[in-house]
Amino acid sequence: MFAKRFFSTSTCHSTKAWMTKHVSDPYVRRSVKENYRARSAFKLIEMNDAYKFLQPGHVVIDMGAAPGAWSQVLVKQVNARINTRKKTIQQNELLHPSEITSLHRPNPDLKCGTVIALDRSPIFEIPGVHIIDDWNLTEETTRDCNKRLQDLLNRLQID
């Protein structure tokens, strides 16, 4: 089951031209087929294939994580542990389609890593990712975000 993507139907020629180019882009097609939130996921996959900087067991903080495509890739690359807590019906209705159809399971033979996603914009839940989102750049919210991150790092015993 793949997520359907709906786009605005504007009458502007440049918008139509961009949309035509966008939907025929091979990376956009792959992102839909492989259930990534954005085509940028393949940029990270290709960089890691070339330079091997992400390994199972690594701890990664994805700054500016929305919409979450890189975080989706990171879960697989660092072998992040998936939290299997049960969700309520209301929580399930709020899930992005990529959570519903995600088939990734951590490899028990490899070290488990951690992925933390930070962004000012809200991010739909991603299995295996600790999300700190939906904050504005004010002193108070920056302190709150810093405290939430520090509490999470302490709880996960990451220095």
Per-residue pLDDT tens over the stretch 1-36: 455 555 555 567 788 888 888 888 898 999 999 999
Phi, psi of 114 (to 5 degrees): -135, 140
Report yes or no on 150 lying in a domain. yes
Q: How many domains does the chain have?
A: 1
Mean pLDDT along residues 71-94:
73
Neighbours of 48 (CB within 10 A): 15
What confidence tier does 134 reach under pLDDT thresholds 50, 70, 90?
confident
Q: Spell out where the chain has E strands.
A: 59-63, 114-118, 129-132
Report yes or no on 27 lying in a domain. no
Report yes or no on 103 lying in a domain. yes
Judge whether residue 87 has pLDDT over 70: no
Report yes or no on 44 lying in a domain. no
Q: Hey, what amino acid is at 156? A: L
Which pLDDT does position 85 carry in this prediction?
58
**C-alpha to C-alpha distance for 71 and 62, rounded to whole angstroms:** 7
Provide the percentage of residues in the chain whose pLDDT is more than 90.
59
Report yes or no on 115 lying in a domain. yes
Mean pLDDT along residues 48-64:
97
Q: Which residue has the higher pLDDT, 140 or 88?
A: 140
Report yes or no on 39 lying in a domain. no
What is residue 53's three-state secondary structure? coil
Report yes or no on 47 lying in a domain. no
Report yes or no on 42 lying in a domain. no
Average pLDDT for the chain: 85
Domain extent, residue 125, equals: 52-155
